[in-house]
A and B are shown apart, each in its own frame.
Chain A
Amino acid sequence: MSVIESFPRVRALKLPRADGFVPWIVPLVILGVWQLACATGFVSSRVLPAPSDVALAGWKLTVSGELGRNIWVSFWRASIGFMIGGSIGFAFGLANGLSQLAGKLTDTTLQMVRNIPHLALIPLVILWFGIDETAKLFLVALGVFFPVYLNTLHGIRTVDPQLIEMGRIYGMTNGELFTRVIFPGALPSIFVGLRFALGIMWLTLIVAETIAASSGLGYMAMQAREFMLVDVVVLSILIYALLGKLADSASRALERLTLAWHPAFRKP
């Protein structure tokens, strides 16, 4: 991601003011072609409803309050699960990166657990927690844990040892060494973990909600499938895409804010 962004953009493409509009050209063209294909009957509305139909379904569900409620439920699950899994992963990453003893004690175990695809645990999780909120939170937290853990650990272990030596020479205490050298040095890698985790967070939630839930976007899509409401199914998928994009943009903004020193993130 960052490598491509760091290339200077081609001068000729840089029309004034149109810059922010350029990335939206392709989605809009696709939308237009899609609408046209449905309107001309080239694609049956039972296979793929027209964008206008999807928008209409969205409007209806918004008015009835169902859409807002389901989005909120999904968003709540995603963020709580993310916070739980992310903070545990971060804590383990810090502990194992900073302390050899902690690393020796837990790293091997964690690496073994990592090799189990967390979605394979769904049957077990349903047995344990039923289709309760806990089940979804558990799965999301588990999915988020590993990318955050691994990248935090990697980030801390790969901080330039010469900089650490420099910090010691200049009399930094352990606390200062952490806040001024180790943590900032590990931050780019932590962000990589964060963005991986966000992707896994949505994926886990979609799967968990379609299989075992009585509310949320995934549940809404499954309900719609039973009643053959293709437009609602497509709507849920689009909303998932939008939420994913939103989370990604938020993490990018945070990245740009905190990694301003990094040549790859400097504003052109």
Chain B
Amino acid sequence: MQEALRFRVPEAELIDRPDYVKQARRLWQGSEVGARGLALTIRGLRKSFGDHEVLRGIDVCIPAGQFVAIVGKSGCGKSTLLRLIAGLESIDSGSVSFGSEARPEDARVMFQEPRLLPWARVLANVEVGLGRGRKSADARARAERALTEVGLAEKRGQWPAVLSGGQKQRVALARALVSHPRLLAFDEPLGALDALTRITMQRLLERVWRDQGFTAILVTHDVSEAIALADRVLLLEDGRIARDIHIDIKRPRKRGSADLAALEGSILGELLRGGDERST
């Protein structure tokens, strides 16, 4: 059990990626799209709102193509960290840098709410994701491909209002994927879904990540979700990364297996205990 937990200091060096990522990468590079993961380095990142210092020096290095989950108590600054990475908030001090030259289309965010335009049909909503490529000739074809990828091709002409919650999130995923981002950040994208839909969506996320080889950063409340999907779990506490846990369980991971359950138990323990120790 303990072998599965490898704690690292926040100043993590590049770790070797699991084989399947390399495979997926190779496949992907062979295709015409050529989307690869984007490495991400965060140094001494701080952020306060007024007097309240939310992030007090985040140091982390995420290699290209890794699937990272960020867990932590409510209000500990997970969303803030994600918004800083996505460039939606200004940085107080420190830096967020990508491994190579990144276009705006290279990093995409997916939120807890699908944020679809209610007055645009499903396909048009996906086209929004193309960014500056919206006006290109193959925009429609690319949007259709992304929609097929999330299994909603037949809903292309519908209004978002008639879709179920899970379907809306899938459209939002297609919109995020259509520009072939090299880094995709998720802020509790599955938080509002029922348990069954959640599991289906988790499988979908894992599949597209393996197919496309982007770097994935998933903020979640759900430790079991983090363990089922991620290569690495970051535990955010008191504005710092308190634990950096690498999960070396082979994929596809069996939900409810003893390995996962034991790991989940120990991380949950960390989460609960960590807060108590620190406060004394």
Contacts and interface: CB of A to CB of B under 8 A. Distances in A.
Interface string B110-153: 01010101111000000011011000000000000000000000
Contacts of A165: 88, 115
A169 interface: yes
A261 B161 contact: yes
Contact of B105 (A167, A171, A180, A262): A171
Contacts of A181: 117
B159 interface: yes
B268 interface: no
Contact of B115 (A162, A263, A266): A162
A169 B161 contact: no
Given A166-B111, A262-B161, 10 more contacts: A166-B128, A169-B109, A170-B175, A172-B128, A181-B117, A187-B119, A261-B118, A261-B160, A261-B161, A262-B118
Nearest to A263: B161
7 contacts: A162-B113, A165-B88, A169-B88, A169-B109, A170-B128, A260-B159, A261-B161
Interface of B: 86, 88, 104-105, 108-109, 111, 113, 115, 117-120, 128-129, 131-132, 159-161, 175
Interface of A: 162-163, 165-167, 169-172, 180-181, 184-185, 187, 260-263, 266
Contacts of A167: 128
Given A170-B129, A263-B161, A180 B120 contact: yes
Contacts of B111: 162, 166
Q: Which 4 A-B pairs have the closest CB atoms?
A: A171-B131, A184-B119, A166-B115, A261-B119
A163 B115 contact: yes
B177 to A, nearest CB: 13
A261 B159 contact: yes
A184 B120 CA distance: 9
Contacts of A163: 115, 117
A248 B116 CA distance: 31
A267 to B, nearest CB: 12
Contacts of A172: 128
Contacts of B132: 171
Among A166, A184, A263, A266, which residue has the most Cβ atoms of chain B within 10 A?
Answer: A166
B134 to A, nearest CB: 8
Contacts of A266: 159
Contacts of A171: 104-105, 131-132
Nearest to B124: A180
A180 B131 contact: no
Contacts of B117: 163, 180-181, 184
Which one of A167, A170, A263 has the highest number of Cβ atoms from chain B below 10 Å of its Cβ?
A170
Contacts of B175: 170
Contacts of B108: 169
A165 to B, nearest CB: 7
A163 B120 CA distance: 12
A169 B105 contact: no
A262 B132 CA distance: 28
A266 B111 CA distance: 28
Nearest to A258: B119
